[in-house]
Structure 1
Amino acid sequence: MRVLVKGAGVAGLTAAFELAVRGAAVTVVETRHGLGGNASWFAGGMLAPWCERESAEQPVLDLGRDAADWWDDALPGQVTRAGTLVLAAPRDTGELDRFATRTSGHRRVDDDEIAVLEPDLAGRFRRGLLFPDEAHLDPRQAIAALHEKLATMGVKFHFGCDARPISGFARRIDCMGMAAADDRLRGVRGEMLILRTPDVSLSRPVRLLHPRFPLYAVPRTDHRFMIGATMIESQSAGPVTARSMMELLGAAHALHPAFGEAEIVETGVGVRPAFPDNLPRVETDGEIIAINGFYRHGFLLAPAMARQAADLVFSQDRTKEHAHETDGQRRGA
């Protein structure tokens, strides 16, 4: 079966992988001239279904709890399984208690255990929550590695390409995100920073709760940290605003003062597609299957959505084969 996948973000690449491992001949087309620049490129890469349940519906936990295993199987060595640490300043411990009541899969930690988990945060926080079964990855490394692996599996890629003139495919998978022709989608703008400082070391993503501006810091290689992120109801992909920059930097400084002297390596904005209920969809329209609406859960939910899409592709194919065989039996009769 020949399948065309439109879009080389996390949705398109995971769908291509699920299809390829099941034996489909897959071609991926992307209007951009290379990997990157889309919402996936500016993601945090946190595989944190229990933490996300604090503000998300139950399906996010149900669909995302196996994401770390999927990424580990697809790209061995890309996933760090060190859990997530959620902290709050002493004046904001009410936020920590509220977070705990809305989530599961955690245990409370005191200042002594926080110092063991993250020595550079010793003495700064009295209480926290550890989600030991969560994980994280570097989205850019994961996207590049998945692209390389797909190429070795025979998946064909065409960048800077419009899919409209391409024909000869049994199925088409639309993973175009905000570029999809779907007026139900809205954009949710997420702004992020990448800071570099050798004076802070973290072993896992740390979420700092604040009643107005919560923050997460995700460790990367080379003393870099992804600091994010805003959630603004906007489809504007313009540069990071001064207000957001100040709030992100202020929250990072509250986590550790050394971030005040960090280099600002990069700022970025990703516009994340979301349906009204903030839950993703896998939908069919004739020969087209659409995957969209990941909101802030792209790397967490893409594997489950990719599996659903691949199941649909092959179940539809079996249905057509059965109908063809039955029709042939009738003609033979």
Structure 2
Amino acid sequence: MMTSASFSNSKYAIVGGGLMGRLLALALAKGGAQVDLFDKGGPDGAHAAARIAAAMLAPLAESAITEASVVRMGLYSLPRWKELIASLTAPVYFQQEGTLILWHHQDVSDAERFAAHLEKNCRSNSGLSAPQKLNNEALREIEPGVADRFNQGLYLPNEGQLDNRQLLDALANELKLQKVNCRWHTEINPSELSKQTSYKAVIDCRGTGAKESWSSGESPNSLRGVRGEVIRLYAPEVKLRRPTRLIHPRYPIYIAPKENDIYVVGATEIESDDLSEMSVRSAMELLSAVYTVHSGFAEARILEMATQCRPTLKNNLPEIRSQKDKGLADLILINGLYRHGFMISPAVLDCALELLEFDTSKTALELGLSLTQDNNRIEVVCA
């Protein structure tokens, strides 16, 4: 998309060193730019929403609950993830062996509605691969560990996942190799930073930390946090091969198997900025549900119970906003990736890079993002 010298002789500041900030800092540095990255936390990303995630890359599964533009971004991002991970020095676990959907007998009507919804979405988007219905024999071949408890399932081909924590570590390592000036444990206001005209642009990637920038009268699409809760388990007896989702009216859980018998389990989505520890009720529901999928989870060891808030805009869609004021560095705000951060971040990355280089984005238009412009501002907003 860009040549290695696209950003030569330019200087950028990025505030926020989570997933989006690291991806953008690395791309700009590889493009020849001088990059300063500021983050209130450390290189481990312990405070970032990206660290508490399953990192599933599942555009068809997510099409049941999100807009068509987000699905298109997810489809675009799958091959880009392969390229991005292949370019890193440190290895990152990446898998593209589809998603398995399961349900108990009493939830068969919900499963039928879910399958019909996915089939309808496939008819309207040729990039999606149609779901495959599995009887017990086919289920046993694809995922033998669950065939004794489930007689049927749904297989969504081509979907994937990666290891979010390996990726954050690998990106931090690559930033060091690319000589990005990483100012960890440094909290700074992007608007104040934009007054330093040595920067061509200041890019705000702070997630929920950027609330004040999205809640003014000029920006009514206010930013909020949506709480997510996950449990990490060590379960050597389970041996699931791919991300598995359980259709259930109360707790539709997901189980994402990582390397070395680690499983990330989650379900809850709460409209709250609360970052306190997981409740007993949430923990019991998650653990009870995961046990119904595979009895081997009874002997699993609980490694971690974690909570985090995903940055979410009013419409649950991502947005890139570019503010241009005379005498100041351009100020770019990227936010609202919600629960789809890993699924769509390469698409958002490429749109942001085009915007920085050309003041517009062909990729944004192709993926269904609308561009509006006035004398002082360009906005790229998900349609």
Matches within 5 A, 1:32-43: 32-37=41-46, 38-43=48-53
Q: Residue deviations 1:115-137, cap 9 Å, x none?
A: 11111112211221111111100
For residue 337 of structure 2, the aligned residue among 294, 305, 308 is: 294
Distance apart, 1:16 and its partner CA: 1.8
**Deviates most, 281-290 or 308-317:** 308-317
The number of residue pairs the alignment matches comes to: 317
Q: 1:21 to 1:101 in 2, by over 3 A?
A: farther
Q: Residue deviations 1:87-121, cap 9 Å, x none?
A: 11122111221111222332111111111111111
Distance apart, 1:316 and its partner CA: 3.7
1:190 aligned partner: 228
2:261 & 2:42 partners in 1: Cα distance?
29
Q: Residue deviations 1:63-91, cap 9 Å, x none?
A: 11122211211112532111111111122
1:206 has 2:244 as partner: yes
2:34 & 2:43 partners in 1: Cα distance?
21
1:231 & 1:88 partners in 2: Cα distance?
20
1:321 aligned partner: none
Distance apart, 1:57 and its partner CA: 0.8
1:3 & 1:9 partners in 2: Cα distance?
17
Distance apart, 1:281 and its partner CA: 0.4
1:248 aligned partner: 286
Matches within 5 A, 1:228-247: 228-247=266-285
Distance apart, 1:142 and its partner CA: 0.9
Q: Kindly indicate whether the alpha-carbon contact (under 8 Å) linking 1:189 and 1:271 is maintained by their aligned counterparts in 2.
A: yes
Amino acid at match of 1:107: Q
Q: Kindly indicate whether the alpha-carbon contact (under 8 Å) linking 2:43 and 2:169 is maintained by their aligned counterparts in 1.
A: no
2:150 aligned partner: 125
Distance apart, 1:280 and its partner CA: 0.4
Q: Kindly indicate whether the alpha-carbon contact (under 8 Å) linking 1:68 and 1:79 is maintained by their aligned counterparts in 2.
A: no
2:188 & 2:79 partners in 1: Cα distance?
32
SS at match of 2:230: strand
1:118 & 1:170 partners in 2: Cα distance?
51
1:173 has 2:211 as partner: no
Which of 1 and 2 has higher RCO (CA within 8 Å, sep 6+)?
1
1:93 has 2:102 as partner: no
**Deviates most, 33-42 or 308-317:** 308-317
2:199 & 2:268 partners in 1: Cα distance?
39
Q: Kindly indicate whether the alpha-carbon contact (under 8 Å) linking 1:18 and 1:307 is maintained by their aligned counterparts in 2.
A: no
Q: Residue deviations 1:174-201, cap 9 Å, x none?
A: 0000000222011110000001121100
Distance apart, 1:153 and its partner CA: 2.4
Amino acid at match of 1:11: M
For residue 21 of structure 2, the aligned residue among 12, 16, 25 is: 12
Show structure 2 runs of 5+ residues with no match.
1-9, 87-91, 123-128, 216-221, 325-329, 361-383
Distance apart, 1:243 and its partner CA: 1.1
For residue 225 of structure 1, the aligned residue among 240, 247, 263 is: 263
SS at match of 1:124: coil
Distance apart, 1:305 and its partner CA: 0.9
For residue 57 of structure 2, the aligned residue among 47, 51, 60 is: 47
Q: Kindly indicate whether the alpha-carbon contact (under 8 Å) linking 2:43 and 2:172 is maintained by their aligned counterparts in 1.
A: no
Sequence identity percentage = 34
Q: Kindly indicate whether the alpha-carbon contact (under 8 Å) linking 2:321 and 2:332 is maintained by their aligned counterparts in 1.
A: yes
1:215 aligned partner: 253
1:283 & 1:314 partners in 2: Cα distance?
15
SS at match of 2:95: coil
